[in-house]
Structure 1
Amino acid sequence: MSARLKLTFSYAGLVMLAGSLLIGVAWIFALRWLPDNAAVIKNAQQYAPKGMGNSPVVITGPSQSDLMHGFIPAAAVAVAFLLLLGLVGGWFLAGRMLAPLTRIADATRLAATGSLSHRIELEGTNDEFRELADAFDTMLAQLEAHVAEQRRFAANASHELRTPLAITQSLLDAARNDPDRDTGQLIDRLHVVNTRAIDLTEALLLLSRANQRSFAREEVDLSLVAEEAAETLFPMAERRGLTIETIDTSGGAAPPAIGSPALLLQLATNLVHNAIVHNLPGQGTIWVITSAHADYAELTVENTGEQLTPELVATLAEPFQRGSERIRTDHAGVGLGLAIVKSITYAHDGTLTLTPRPTGGLRVTVRLPVRRALTAEAPEARYIPTALRLARIGPAPAHQPGSPT
């Protein structure tokens, strides 16, 4: 049976039960107060006509047998009417109550066909059906945005992967048509193009892994992760004449973040690499700051650079968005650095904030949930120098992170 028919029978049964109880109460009340036959009242002068003296008075009225003959047919008619009223009224009430579910079901069928732009937009008071419809509309909106993002990402990924393949094909065709071409130069160019294709493929795989949250979670010291990322990219910063400063404001007592050590190291590495690439060559600075709070651990990476608009910064975490106003070099990457950071942060239930610095450059803040350890670790195991300066080449502007120069 359909839900509407079940509700109809339920309403009719409830009406029948209530009516039957009411009729039963009336029947019991009537039987209790009606005599079995005519009542004889003695010494009832007040009821006797004049001239009868003190003679007994016999008063006759309806008896229980009379009640049975008159009440039972009327009760049967009333029960039949209640049954009809319960069925008809229950059918309409059930239809009215289930109307929102019908609209939700129609929207679900439309979504199943690929139409995600439809919304229920249920009117009325904020009851359970309204909450369900609003939650379904929110889900559809998020799903539509996710599908659009995936389609855009697939198109961009296809374009980015096609570029190195097309370059490789062109180089091979040129080498085939020109047998006297310098083989060493060709091999070098093919090596560069192939390396870029490999980097892009690995970045895409890492991004997919982060989006699927297919990783084990454990306690991770975010300050140690930041230090390792800075040390790994120290040679690159040295070649570009940049200064890297790592600062741990937790005093070595920060609670550990919860997540994947490998992914969080990749997150920190991407942030530092992005700060190095998009910086001022020969005079730039990168600040890698870790801090601890009651409910989250925070990693902030700031870098000097050119002025960035808030509109441009809002797009930098999208895949393949390098920023046309930012410095472009051979080490600019594949355009997935901050997109991977965003995916890793969200996969760890954290928050990512990108802010343009007033004096130029970018400030990126990642907040990750923490779990307080049951036993305190030794301070020396978590110690990070307050200001570790790496690759200081050339003068750097005096600056305090987070404040204008």
Structure 2
Amino acid sequence: MPAVRRRGTVRLRLTAVHTGLFVATSAILVLTVNLLLQTMLHQRVAGMKIAEAAPPTFAGPPSGSPMTGAVMGDVADLPDAVLRYQWTVSGVTIAALTLVSIAAGWWLSGRLLRPLHRITATARRLSVSTLHERIALAGPRDELTELADTFDTMLGRLQSAVDSQRRFVANASHELRTPLAIQRAAIQIGLDDPTPQRLDEIRRELLLANHRAERLIEGLLVLAQSEHGLETSEPVALDAVVRQAVGETPGEGIAVTLATEPVQVAGDPVLLHRLVANLVHNAVRHNRSGGTVEVRLASTGDLTVRNTGPEVPADRVDELFEPFRRLRAARTGPSDGAGLGLSIVAAIARAHDAAVTARPNPGGGLELTVRFRARQATSGAESRPVMI
């Protein structure tokens, strides 16, 4: 009921504005015409009286005859009679047209507000389960169809966000359920025969499962913090962060080549360290035996990490930046990682107003580039190979 009352108020306002403009313009028109007519009639009658006082140029009734006086009296009263009739007709006409204007304004405002009613009705019906609905307003391209198209676009983005959140929750639940199931099985089955050797195996299984759950929870926290945005920002020497992250990344005989130029960016040093560490760790882990990793930081703020490794299908590169996505499994699969590495990289990059791009390398591997907005360069440069 309140919504109907608001729609009626807008319709009444439009009708009142339409009728008010009509009455105002009509009154101005009638007043102007009648005043001009009054002036003209009085001037004509005055001219006729002047002509009567002039010497006659033709034979006619004596000027003082009763007939001449009666005619001149009627002529003198003619302007007032015509004006009274004119005002009466104008008033009746304006009153009748005002009623017509009210009806036309009410009908016209209803037609103008009909698309808005449709938009309101669609918005009122929407819920999480009906985000697929669209207004799809037809008609000429005007402000109302543009509003409806904008609303449809917003619904599409909202539906994508809700679907992504659902997938994220389902995948997170799956990932958290796996280590918990391992721990429960180890406790229930392994402790049936608690020999010292069996207890040592159970201990290792429980520690591995606990470590996996801990990494997953830590990754989820970092991802949530990155999606929330930066609370504080400070100048960060990105070249120093890159060197530190590369030096701390463990490897298995993978040759890592590091080339950096002095760069300063605005951001959070902890999150930037996590971004670089995830890129380098991902490049080392998804590599082949004896492979290489190239890390380059240009003075323009472009950070590039390139590695050798398995073939990466070009049509699946974008999936790698989604949470819990792995190259060898569409959703989740057996792996020592949780599938959050590159999604954390993308979230941290967005929080720092940076762009992330990826492309497969010919022959295998991946090249990832993060383009930061460099503030200024510090003195000195460094280019050196590092073996890890």
- TM-score scaled by structure 1? 0.83
Q: Is 2:22 the partner of 1:26? A: no
* Separation of aligned partners in 1, 2:97 and 2:238: 72
Report matched runs for 1:125-164 at 5 Å: 125-164=140-179
- Residue deviations 1:1-53 (CA, integer Å, cap 9, x gap): 521111111111111111111111112211221217562243999xx896459
Q: Give how far 1:330 is off.
A: 9.3
1:272 aligns with 280
Matched residue of 1:42: which SS? helix
**Normalized per residue, which structure has more helix?**
2
Rate the CA distance shift 1:378–1:204 in 2: closer, same or farther, 3 A.
closer
Q: Is 2:80 the partner of 1:80? A: no
Q: Is 2:320 the partner of 1:316? A: yes
Q: Is 2:359 the partner of 1:355? A: yes
Rate the CA distance shift 1:145–1:51 in 2: closer, same or farther, 3 A.
same
2:230–2:268 Cα contact (<8 Å) kept = no
- Residue deviations 1:140-173 (CA, integer Å, cap 9, x gap): 1011001001101100110110000000001111
Rate the CA distance shift 1:177–1:138 in 2: closer, same or farther, 3 A.
same
Within the candidate set 345, 362, 373, 1:369 is matched to: 373
Matched residue of 1:215: which SS? coil
Rate the CA distance shift 1:292–1:121 in 2: closer, same or farther, 3 A.
farther
* Separation of aligned partners in 2, 1:87 and 1:44: 54
* Separation of aligned partners in 2, 1:6 and 1:153: 48
2:349 aligns with 345
Looking at CA atoms only, which structure, 1 or 2, has the larger radius of gyration?
Answer: 2
Within the candidate set 232, 235, 251, 2:248 is matched to: 232
2:283–2:305 Cα contact (<8 Å) kept = yes
Q: Give how far 1:277 is off.
A: 0.4
- TM-score scaled by structure 2? 0.86
Matched residue of 2:369: which SS? strand
* Separation of aligned partners in 2, 1:44 and 1:336: 111
- Equivalent residue letter for 2:385: R
Matched residue of 1:40: which SS? helix
Count of matched residue positions in the alignment of Structure 1 and Structure 2: 369
Report matched runs for 1:144-293 at 5 Å: 144-180=159-195, 182=197, 183-213=199-229, 215-233=231-249, 236-237=250-251, 240-248=252-260, 251-252=261-262, 254=263, 256-281=264-289, 283-293=290-300
Q: Is 2:8 the partner of 1:12? A: no
Rate the CA distance shift 1:227–1:125 in 2: closer, same or farther, 3 A.
farther
Q: Give how far 1:206 is off.
A: 1.2
* Separation of aligned partners in 2, 1:354 and 1:262: 23
* Separation of aligned partners in 1, 2:257 and 2:333: 23
Rate the CA distance shift 1:120–1:144 in 2: closer, same or farther, 3 A.
same
Q: 5+ residue gaps in structure 2?
A: 1-7
Rate the CA distance shift 1:93–1:292 in 2: closer, same or farther, 3 A.
farther
1:110–1:118 Cα contact (<8 Å) kept = no
2:379 aligns with 379
2:3 aligns with none
Q: 5+ residue gaps in structure 1?
A: 393-405
* Separation of aligned partners in 1, 2:255 and 2:303: 18
